[in-house]
Structure 1
Amino acid sequence: MSETRKLLNDELDRLSPDRFRESEKTPLIIVLDNVRSLNNVGSVFRSADAYRVEKIYLCGITAQPPHREIRKTALGATESVAWEYAEETIDVVHKLNQNGYTTCAIEQAERSQNLFHFSPSKNEKVAIVLGNEVKGVQQEVVDVCKEVIELDQFGTKHSLNIAVCAGIVIYDIFNKISPLR
């Protein structure tokens, strides 16, 4: 077997926060609906940075930067990814619907579709709503989303950690819609 040398950080050709803000984005918005864990919020920022997500909305009780616990997992992504706070998640989803986004609650629900089968067109504007670690996405928010997407699971637990779920969904949708791909 041949040796494979890991790349050094300066070989990765990463964007600076300024270049990131000016760069083309994936037409994907993330909406966090009352997410409790600051570590989850930071992790979502980090995944959003990795796939050049357009924006994150932090809603309800979801914590906002700057915060030490968010910073721990975001590793600087709060400086690159655009974000905005909104008190009511439903107001954000209504606005996104009006602006032509395909809004998707990531939730276990009747008539949900598997992420594998969700097939937006290239460059389609998509917004995903991820909910509270215990209660999930509020029912009134699920009701106004255009789609409900579920990740199939085969173990004993009923759900994935929100940061893990977000990473899977962001990566999948990035590969389906991003002009960067």
Structure 2
Amino acid sequence: MRKLLYEEILAERHTVDTVKETLRHPVHVILHNIRSSYNVGSIFRTSDSALVSGMTLCGFTPHPPSKEISKTALGSLETVPWTYEKDILKAIQHEKDSGRKVFAVELTDKKKLYTDLVLADYPLTLVLGNEISGIDDAVIDACDDSLEIPMFGLKHSLNVSVAAGIVIFESVRIWNEIQK
């Protein structure tokens, strides 16, 4: 085993033009009231890597143009389709009207693990909330279901960009497994 050379990695990488034409995974991401521009940029980068269908930024979530978002997004602002909608409930309704099942990524009294997605859950939208307070009750009520990442330590939370990475990539992995 050896580490790939940078040139080898580049040879396999999409260009901005080819990634825009590539079939995307049926996973959409909504960010609601995220405080940190750096978290938003990191989630853009993760969403590009996972080839999600798009992102919707809501509430007071920072949105492009932003130097801080661009710094952590590393060019993915050009490759991830995104919109801004101030009203999260309108954004959720739009996703439902588009035929997507909407999941709050949150600890709730209904414990559905993020690893338990099935074909009937796709296409889907993942809603991620504020770094401190999580997702508001009214937003949880508007979602179809919730997904939980189990917590085993003292702290019962993850950084929102870390949680996004876990759930986005697992939902893509499950989708690809179902398609085999």
Please give the alpha-carbon distance, in whole angstroms, between the structure 2 residues aligned to 1:10 and 1:58. 34
- 1:174 corresponding residue in structure 2: 172
Matches within 5 A, 1:1-181: 4-12=1-9, 13-117=12-116, 119-121=117-119, 124-178=122-176
Q: Secondary structure at the match of 1:113?
A: coil
Contact 1:44/1:166, CA 8 A, preserved across alignment: yes
Contact 2:111/2:147, CA 8 A, preserved across alignment: yes
Cα deviation, residue 50, structure 1: 0.5
1:160 corresponds to which letter in structure 2? L
Q: Secondary structure at the match of 2:65?
A: coil
Cα deviation, residue 180, structure 1: 8.4
2:158 corresponds to which letter in structure 1? L
How well do the aligned residues superpose, as a CA RMSD in angstroms?
1.7
Q: Identity over aligned residues, as a percent? A: 36
Q: Which structure shows the bigger proportion of residues in helix conformation?
A: 2
Please give the alpha-carbon distance, in whole angstroms, between the structure 1 residues aligned to 2:90 and 2:84. 11
Please give the alpha-carbon distance, in whole angstroms, between the structure 2 residues aligned to 1:138 and 1:22. 36
Cα deviation, residue 10, structure 1: 2.7
Deviation larger for 165-174 or 134-143: 134-143
Contact 1:122/1:176, CA 8 A, preserved across alignment: no
Please give the alpha-carbon distance, in whole angstroms, between the structure 1 residues aligned to 2:106 and 2:21. 33
Relative to 1, partners in 2 of residues 1:60 and 1:123: Cα closer, same or farther, differing over 3 Å?
closer
Please give the alpha-carbon distance, in whole angstroms, between the structure 2 residues aligned to 1:109 and 1:136. 11
Where does structure 1 lack aligned partners over 5 or more consecutive residues? none
* TM-score, structure 2 as length reference: 0.93
Cα deviation, residue 88, structure 1: 0.8
Cα deviation, residue 149, structure 1: 0.7
Cα deviation, residue 122, structure 1: 8.0
Q: Secondary structure at the match of 1:29?
A: strand
1:1-46 per-position Cα deviation (integer Å, ceiling 9, x unaligned): xxx3211233121111111111100011000011000110011001
1:120 corresponds to which letter in structure 2? V
Where does structure 2 lack aligned partners over 5 or more consecutive residues? none
* TM-score, structure 1 as length reference: 0.92
Aligned length: 177
Please give the alpha-carbon distance, in whole angstroms, between the structure 1 residues aligned to 2:170 and 2:66. 29
